[in-house]
Amino acid sequence: MTKKLMLMAGLLGLDALLAPLARAAGGKASDLVVVADTRVLDSEILLYFANLYNTNIVLFAVWTVVLTAAYGCLLGVVMDKLMALTGLDLTSRKIVEH
């Protein structure tokens, strides 16, 4: 059942893909390049990252992943502490999975 549905969803997606592509097939295709506009930034931190985006995308990508993961960890720890403070019983809740 699920497999059939997945197939159907896939076909639907494919159909949606093909229609505009048939139209676009003749057009030329080149990569879009984005330049962060550092002229309008005041914040030092934003300026640093926007500049990094323009000059060294690999380092920017490493920074993004590390910062996101680290911030996620930090939030996890902080939220754990906060929820413990509320005094609610959080051990008995069932895990709802779907």
Partner 1 sequence: MRRMATSLVLAAALALCAGAALAAEVAQGRCIEYDTAAKTITIEEYDTNFGKSHPYGVSTGMVSTYDVKDAKIGLTPEPGDILRIAYEIHGDKRAALTAYYDALGNKRVAIKVMNVTKQSLHGK
Partner 2 sequence: MELMADSSWLYMYMPIAGVHIFWPGLVLIGFSVGVIGGFFGMGGAWMVTPGLNILGFPMAFAIGTDIAHIAGKSMVSTMRHSKFGNVDYKLGVVMLAGTMVGIEIGAQLVMWLERLGQVGPVVRWVYVGFLAFIAWMVFYDYAKAVSNKRKGLSGQHGTEGVTWYKALHRINIPPMIHFRASGFTCSAWLPIMVSLVTGILAGFLGIGGGLLRMPALVYLIGCPTHVAVGTDLFEVMISGLYGAFTYTLKGRIEIVAVFVMLTGAAIGAQIGTVATKYSKGYGIRLAFGAAVLCCMLSIILKQVGYTQSAAALILTTIGVICLYIMKIMFVGAARELREKKAGTQIG
Sites of contact with partner 1 (CB under 8 A): 30-40, 48, 51-52, 54-56, 59, 62-63, 66, 69-70, 73
Task: Lay out the site mask for partner 2 across 28-67 (x = CB under 8 A, - = otherwise).
Answer: -xxxxxx-xxx-xx----x--xx--x---xx-xxx-xx-x
Question: Residue 85: which H helix or E strand, with range?
Answer: helix 57-86
Dist CA 65 CA 82 (whole Å): 25
- For the residues of 11-38, what is the DSSP string, one character each? HHHHHHHHHHHHHHTTS----------G
Nearer to partner 1, 30 or 92 (CB): 30
Nearer to partner 1, 5 or 34 (CB): 34
User: Residue 53 to residues 10, 35, 43, 88: CA-CA distances in angstroms?
Assistant: 35, 8, 15, 44
Tokens 């911030």 belong to 71
What residues line the site for partner 2 (CB under 8 A)?
A: 1-3, 5-6, 9, 12-13, 16-17, 20-21, 24, 27, 29-34, 36-38, 40-41, 46, 49-50, 53, 57-58, 60-62, 64-65, 67-69, 71-73, 75-80, 82-83, 86-90, 92-98
